[in-house]
Structure 1
């Protein structure tokens, strides 16, 4: 025998109630069907009673609305006219009773708990008659006859023994299909109508299942089961196949509104499994709740949260070692009907923090200030301190007690994401770790925990890409082409949530369509660097990475604040790493302190692993003594192309046309780009240096760097004859030009040099770069790193590699 419970959404529409009919009639076993009121009707019954209490005649319209809804439901789902006539007669009678009660409330302006309980009972009484008529062969049983409560401490609580006996007696000769209204009950002694509380239909079903030793209790609702987290917040959340009773109880008590918490205990005692199923998707396997889950390897099963948390701190030196303080706290709150869902106390005992809902905060503070008024007056205790606007998060899983380091991983993950934990609590059973964070951080906290503990199918990086020129455009193309493969082979999702050009920006938490980003940018509102920074910070996404594919000093100026907000930075832009030394050092220190990354491998050598190699050498205890390098792919291309047939001015033009040089080639010809790269290399090698410290030996007269770009191109051919004369001399000597950057024990210089055939730089082809590292270990034979060092494609690939290194942390 099975017990099937259908919630309000499962009987709330024609579609859902017909699905209920199909599910129940498809069962071959005996079933008892417990139903809630039609979706939204319980709230409507309560709201209408309050209108009547206030003497507001609009209660009549609300009453008529409820009548009409039930009549329309009957008309839509019952085809048999004889059945329909009998059902409508019953519904008319019930509504007449309800109408009289409302009119009485309206007249005498009295709405006692007894009357309110009677009013809300009509929702289930009406729906159960409709379902019993709809399901072929079904018989309705009245819960008011066998679900019994007793008054304790002013509340109606289930009388378990009397109810169990009454259930057994009622269903001794049951039919194959039985229908029961959930939620409602009667007082054992007075016979007055009571109820089991909101969510009580689940409880009704559990009570019946336990009393009759059912094979299974099925809770049919509007979700596929328990989810690893709230899918409205975490799009990668998925259904949990199996949970233990303990895990389900923890999740239910802490915000997961799938099952009413008291439901679990009666069937748990009898070891009856609970299945949570979706009325709108009956083929889904749902979630099964058992005493023990086999082959369960995950340390945590799910994440729940409670918004609107207030943390109240009871503190004072008089609390230390004094017995009974906590008893007074919780007794005072309990006597005023205030529920505490989390408690945290320091071992010093000088403070206790309690979590309550925001709606209870003001009253809770007043109650506690009154309870400890004497101690507060004497200064032995402080007035209550309440901090609102918080959120409480709980991670749940029985395997946590068998897995060392879960708490460490949890708080480390939160810390790296810039989320401060205000208070935390963990029971000795180790099935639940609860903590309080700022409410603004809830979305980020849930996502980063879900991602970190492998509850998500994919690890997610949220990327903000600034700059959509040659490098940025190539990067977006590479991300798009690798997107599916990374998801399939590495379980990594690169979610581009922001793209900015020089004047426009687009943002989307769920990810931007990379096939259409250019059109979206064109249609977007105007933006600037400050708006860009503010939007990134306000989005507060987890695992955020800002990718700078510009050469802008204004964009580089955003790094510090982004790092402070735990956004990692990947920069193709050289400005920050080569700028003011103290600022550079502060960026690195901030990234280290905040547990995020500041990466800029492509600042030197595009896609070549130069900076990473220097970092590895230094970290292993080696010391960089000298650096000799050809670092400009543009200049190398120019001096490789120059010949008797191709003059100097033409090689510069070709470099620009083929995308090797900056749009303004003077940036390359001035050696500024090489100087920046040399400064970065020197700093990474452990030396303090500024750009002004570099000795500059340039090969273009300074006058060429003044005026407009057009004037530069016009005057450039005047240098051709001089370069050709010197080139011819070098050719006769068997030498070639190379623009060389050098660092020797911290002293730096750049110059155009002639190198012979035996020099490692002589055979450097095209736009390739080469770096020679002389270290304490690589002293006699310097380490050589050589390869393609310019071009948008390889630079974008290097940026992509930096992004991937963050993903693999």
Structure 2
């Protein structure tokens, strides 16, 4: 069974009620549903205002009553067709007649008792629930109105609620055993006392009503719909940067609600704890949002502090005097005096010297508490042993709340330092033994400042902002954008990196947004962008002049790589999978390295060699640690490895190459891969990273392709020549098969010389079982002289290449 509770803002108008009905119907379609409703927004306050006016013999209550009746009748007329209105209109008028009689009695007697106050304040929920139940009936729902005054039994004195759970649970269970409607509409807030007189569960008691029903029926989850997205890190109306929490524990919710969080009525949790019933606080106006889930022992919050809250409707009482020191039972007498006048303490702190006790109380109870304490300690006050109790106004309590606070040292210091550095004086401090709460009493005028200061200290952890400008949004680029979008929250939460994409371009279009591009519709934004131009793109990046700017090149374009020096010389980092810059003449390669060091801009190209494999990074670490590279043996072309792992002479060679190209394993021009040029560039880059000054023409390339195919002018012409050369490819395969060998395109560096070419590899070699499009590199060094250091894994494909670029971006962020 589902149980839902809707607050006053959710049912403030007929328009809102229609939104609510859709939510309820969605739940009814899955299971029987209980829907608990508050009064229409603002009605309860108006009912009590009219009662106060009547008690003061102010006849203007009649005008307000007429206005209130008209509001309810208008809602009926807006929700329900004319032919179906008569019954509910009669019920509404009858309820207002009863209200009018009660107000007349208050007016004539010039008296408003607690009992009458409770009866009057409950009319709002009765009226709203009757109207909404009738509306659901008009929608042909199988609905039953349940008067919670007939079920919930409580004792209510001065807003102190004591529910008789034994009787209440039996009443609820009996009713639901006897009735099988699809939808039960229940008024929140209202109840009855042991004598059967209507009463209430206290302001905010509609939450409590729903919790009582959930507890009685042992339901799994209670959904509380309100006008916010859940429980926030702080009050969002005071702290604009506050955000909704995804998960919190029961204990954290109790602390937050006790200290002023308005979303949840504090007693609500009582009926839910025993059976560990979850509460999901959701937004009526954004029902698709996850909201906040309150459950037992939530461990999903990574922060030490879960929330910051406050109470400003409090006053401070200080009991002070030398006569308190060492006197046994003094605290007992203090709290006993408050007990007798039914006053509970919000916060207490006592100095270790026992010279004073400081109490924070609800502001409307402070005077009664002062009178009770002065009377209890009258003898000590007259003798001068303690001072007369005084009330301190204009104070508030701010509190840090979190289950994980107890396992982290220094939080109190951070809290008080943050407040002190902003000239916020602390009047009193309290921390429970559970260490789940640290509270401080401050001046009310400092509340806004304090909440913002503490939120900044504990939630707005300084993060490094990375501003990305990406060229190339094809296979690799689109995968990178998807990875960045999916990992946005993780990067911010775990690595403190805020990654923004401010510019995108392809060969035709480019688009910029200084506030960050929306990755949900980046394709549309780019299609509608301005004409693409590599130089104009650079000029725009330069003119924005943002810190931590990174240019990301996902192309294989020599024109784009020719601008790397422009970016680096303007302190713009470069991340690229484009091998051209690092395999051009050594002088240009070296200049890029120098510019990177000179201008403090990173130049990272891990994906130049092994896609997402940490080949270059491993080599750099070996060299940096003083190791000497003696030999490198590698299969560095995922595309060529894919081709020769799939070619067995039963299917034409060109078909296998077409498949590799279709699946994204080759460059757009497959001759770059099959000619060995791509592998030659990779071993050249590794040679240079090893410390050698080598050029591309120094690499011996033992190509297995015919000269004619290498000189092909287009992909179509290239594939036609491959078809014609099929006998040659079959001969190469058959020779290897006869020798029980695999064909691998191997790159090698040894004694200052490098070569690439197709080789037969026997079963004893580490390359023999290399499958799919995997790459492998063997590093032989002074330290790894007998057994090489091996790096092995997927070496081709858009996903792994994008992940390698992603990793380089993160490296820059962590500098």
TM-score range, shorter chain: 0.5 to 0.7
Name the CA shift for 1:65/1:152 in 2 (closer, same or farther; >3 Å): closer
Give SS of 2:358's match. Answer: strand
Name the CA shift for 1:54/1:220 in 2 (closer, same or farther; >3 Å): same
Whether 2:267 is the aligned partner of 1:262: answer yes
Structure 2 equivalent of residue 42 of structure 1:
44
| Pairing of 1:324-335 with structure 2 (within 5 A) | 324-335=329-340
Structure 2 equivalent of residue 292 of structure 1:
297
Report the CA distance between 1:361 and its aligned residue: 3.5
Structure 1 equivalent of residue 88 of structure 2:
87
- Contact residue 156 and residue 200 of structure 2 kept, 8 A: no
Structure 2 equivalent of residue 303 of structure 1:
308
Whether 2:405 is the aligned partner of 1:400: answer yes
Task: State the TM-score, normalizing by the size of structure 2.
Answer: 0.55
Name the CA shift for 1:54/1:418 in 2 (closer, same or farther; >3 Å): closer
Give the whole-Å Cα distance in 2 for the aligned partners of 1:288 and 1:426.
Answer: 26
Name the CA shift for 1:441/1:333 in 2 (closer, same or farther; >3 Å): same
Give the whole-Å Cα distance in 2 for the aligned partners of 1:45 and 1:119.
Answer: 7
Give SS of 1:422's match. Answer: strand
Structure 1 equivalent of residue 442 of structure 2:
437
Give SS of 1:171's match. Answer: helix
- Contact residue 139 and residue 178 of structure 1 kept, 8 A: yes
Give the whole-Å Cα distance in 1 for the aligned partners of 2:464 and 2:10.
Answer: 35
- Contact residue 156 and residue 201 of structure 2 kept, 8 A: no
| Pairing of 1:644-793 with structure 2 (within 5 A) | none
Root-mean-square deviation (CA, aligned residues, Å) is 2.7
Give the whole-Å Cα distance in 2 for the aligned partners of 1:245 and 1:101.
Answer: 40
Report the CA distance between 1:155 and its aligned residue: 5.8
Give the whole-Å Cα distance in 1 for the aligned partners of 2:112 and 2:369.
Answer: 26
Give the whole-Å Cα distance in 2 for the aligned partners of 1:58 and 1:153.
Answer: 27
Structure 1 equivalent of residue 33 of structure 2:
31
Report the CA distance between 1:33 and its aligned residue: 0.4
Give the whole-Å Cα distance in 2 for the aligned partners of 1:65 and 1:425.
Answer: 47
- Contact residue 42 and residue 120 of structure 1 kept, 8 A: yes
Give the whole-Å Cα distance in 1 for the aligned partners of 2:159 and 2:460.
Answer: 43
Deviations 1:489-519 (A, max 9, x none): 97799xxxxxxxxxxxxxxxxxxx99xxxxx
Whether 2:4 is the aligned partner of 1:4: answer yes
Structure 2 equivalent of residue 621 of structure 1:
none
Structure 2 equivalent of residue 207 of structure 1:
212
Report the CA distance between 1:230 and its aligned residue: 0.7
Whether 2:191 is the aligned partner of 1:164: answer no
Give the whole-Å Cα distance in 2 for the aligned partners of 1:438 and 1:155.
Answer: 28
| Pairing of 1:140-151 with structure 2 (within 5 A) | 140-150=145-155
Name the CA shift for 1:388/1:194 in 2 (closer, same or farther; >3 Å): same
- Contact residue 114 and residue 158 of structure 2 kept, 8 A: no
Report the CA distance between 1:156 and its aligned residue: 5.6
Structure 1 equivalent of residue 186 of structure 2:
180
Q: Which is further off, 384-393 or 263-272?
A: 384-393
Structure 2 equivalent of residue 367 of structure 1:
372
Structure 2 equivalent of residue 107 of structure 1:
108
Give SS of 1:285's match. Answer: coil
Structure 2 equivalent of residue 669 of structure 1:
none
Structure 2 equivalent of residue 352 of structure 1:
357
Give SS of 1:125's match. Answer: helix
Name the CA shift for 1:328/1:492 in 2 (closer, same or farther; >3 Å): farther
Deviations 1:716-762 (A, max 9, x none): xxxxxxxxxxxxxxxxxxxxxxxxxxxxxxxxxxxxxxxxxxxxxxx
Q: Which is further off, 218-227 or 386-395?
A: 386-395
Give SS of 2:85's match. Answer: helix
Give SS of 1:33's match. Answer: strand
Give SS of 1:26's match. Answer: helix
Name the CA shift for 1:155/1:252 in 2 (closer, same or farther; >3 Å): closer
Name the CA shift for 1:305/1:154 in 2 (closer, same or farther; >3 Å): closer
Name the CA shift for 1:459/1:94 in 2 (closer, same or farther; >3 Å): farther
- Contact residue 462 and residue 496 of structure 2 kept, 8 A: no
| Pairing of 1:598-677 with structure 2 (within 5 A) | none
Deviations 1:62-88 (A, max 9, x none): 110111000111111223x33322211
Q: Which is further off, 52-61 or 220-229?
A: 52-61
- Contact residue 182 and residue 202 of structure 1 kept, 8 A: yes
Q: Which is further off, 108-117 or 144-153?
A: 144-153
Name the CA shift for 1:66/1:356 in 2 (closer, same or farther; >3 Å): same
Give the whole-Å Cα distance in 1 for the aligned partners of 2:39 and 2:70.
Answer: 15
Give SS of 1:353's match. Answer: strand
Give the whole-Å Cα distance in 2 for the aligned partners of 1:154 and 1:8.
Answer: 20
- Contact residue 450 and residue 456 of structure 1 kept, 8 A: no
Structure 2 equivalent of residue 128 of structure 1:
129
Whether 2:318 is the aligned partner of 1:318: answer no
- Contact residue 32 and residue 177 of structure 1 kept, 8 A: yes
Give the whole-Å Cα distance in 2 for the aligned partners of 1:359 and 1:128.
Answer: 31
Give the whole-Å Cα distance in 2 for the aligned partners of 1:458 and 1:47.
Answer: 49
- Contact residue 308 and residue 439 of structure 1 kept, 8 A: no
Give the whole-Å Cα distance in 2 for the aligned partners of 1:20 and 1:223.
Answer: 15
Give the whole-Å Cα distance in 2 for the aligned partners of 1:152 and 1:390.
Answer: 27
Deviations 1:368-406 (A, max 9, x none): 223212111112112224432222101000001111221
Give SS of 1:25's match. Answer: helix
Give the whole-Å Cα distance in 2 for the aligned partners of 1:413 and 1:118.
Answer: 47
Give the whole-Å Cα distance in 2 for the aligned partners of 1:413 and 1:57.
Answer: 53
* Residue correspondences, number: 470
Name the CA shift for 1:347/1:218 in 2 (closer, same or farther; >3 Å): same
Give the whole-Å Cα distance in 2 for the aligned partners of 1:239 and 1:153.
Answer: 33
Name the CA shift for 1:439/1:17 in 2 (closer, same or farther; >3 Å): same
Report the CA distance between 1:185 and its aligned residue: 1.0
Give the whole-Å Cα distance in 2 for the aligned partners of 1:175 and 1:457.
Answer: 54
- Contact residue 319 and residue 356 of structure 2 kept, 8 A: yes
- Contact residue 237 and residue 455 of structure 1 kept, 8 A: no
Structure 1 equivalent of residue 201 of structure 2:
196
Report the CA distance between 1:421 and its aligned residue: 1.8
- Contact residue 52 and residue 109 of structure 1 kept, 8 A: yes
Name the CA shift for 1:109/1:412 in 2 (closer, same or farther; >3 Å): closer
Name the CA shift for 1:491/1:412 in 2 (closer, same or farther; >3 Å): farther
Give the whole-Å Cα distance in 2 for the aligned partners of 1:274 and 1:402.
Answer: 26
Give the whole-Å Cα distance in 1 for the aligned partners of 2:167 and 2:55.
Answer: 35
Report the CA distance between 1:457 and its aligned residue: 8.1
- Contact residue 313 and residue 354 of structure 1 kept, 8 A: yes
Give the whole-Å Cα distance in 1 for the aligned partners of 2:298 and 2:436.
Answer: 14
- Contact residue 426 and residue 442 of structure 2 kept, 8 A: yes
Deviations 1:89-123 (A, max 9, x none): 21122122222222222233333222222222211
| Pairing of 1:206-285 with structure 2 (within 5 A) | 206-285=211-290
Name the CA shift for 1:34/1:411 in 2 (closer, same or farther; >3 Å): same
Give the whole-Å Cα distance in 1 for the aligned partners of 2:161 and 2:427.
Answer: 37
Give the whole-Å Cα distance in 1 for the aligned partners of 2:212 and 2:105.
Answer: 34
Report the CA distance between 1:154 and its aligned residue: 10
Structure 2 equivalent of residue 474 of structure 1:
none
Report the CA distance between 1:237 and its aligned residue: 0.2
- Contact residue 10 and residue 20 of structure 1 kept, 8 A: yes
- Contact residue 457 and residue 491 of structure 1 kept, 8 A: no
Report the CA distance between 1:236 and its aligned residue: 0.5
Name the CA shift for 1:340/1:277 in 2 (closer, same or farther; >3 Å): same
- Contact residue 233 and residue 245 of structure 2 kept, 8 A: yes
Structure 2 equivalent of residue 453 of structure 1:
458
Q: From 405, 413, 417, give the equivalent of 2:418.
A: 413
- Contact residue 156 and residue 194 of structure 1 kept, 8 A: no
- Contact residue 237 and residue 456 of structure 1 kept, 8 A: no
Give the whole-Å Cα distance in 2 for the aligned partners of 1:106 and 1:385.
Answer: 36
